[in-house]
Amino acid sequence: MEQTVSYTLDSTLDTVDHAEEKATRIATELGFAEDEVMQISMAVREGAVNAVLHGNAYAPDKKVVLAFERTPEDLVITIRDQGKGIDLGNIPNPLAPENLLKTSGRGIFLMRSFMDVVEIRPSQTGTEVKLIKHVHGSSAGGKERTQ
C-alpha cells in the first residue's frame, strides 16, 4: 500500500526545524529503529537546509516542497526547491585532507552516510533531492501512518 504526504513550506529556518520534526514523526510511526529515525531526520534536515539556504536563498517567494512516500520496501522522501540548481560535478569531498577543517560542505555527505539511496538532480523548477531508506524486515512498516 502506498501512502504519500506532501508539504509546501516557506524558505525559512523554521522550515528546516519543521522538516526535521515531520521526518522524525513519520519515521517513528513507520516503526524504524531509534538510530534509523535519527539518521532519517538528520538527512531530511540537511536536505532542507540546502533547499532553504543554498537553493532558495531564503527568498520569500520561493517554496520548498517536502514529500514522504511509503512503499512496501522503502520510505522515499523528496525535497524540491526553486533555486538555481547545484553543480553536481563540483561538490568537494569533505573527507579530503584539504577540506577537513572547512566549516561547511558536509550536508550532502551526511545525507549519503545516513540514507540507503540519495539522488540529486535538477527539477523543472530547481533541485530535487530524493532520500530513500529501506524498510528492514519487521522492524519498520508495522504501523499505518496517520495523517
Burial of 49 (0-12, 13-18, 19+ CB in 10 A): middle
Which of 61, 72, 95, 138 is the binder for other proteins (CB under 8 A)? Answer: 95
Footprint on residues 99-138 left by other proteins (CB under 8 A)? 100-104, 106-107, 109-110, 113
* Strand intervals (E) in 72-145: 74-80, 117-122, 127-134
Site map for other proteins, 18-47, x if CB under 8 A? --------------------x---x--xx-
Rounded CA gap, 82 and 126, in Å? 4
* Binding residues vs other proteins (CB under 8 A): 13, 16, 38, 42, 45-46, 49, 53, 94-95, 100-104, 106-107, 109-110, 113
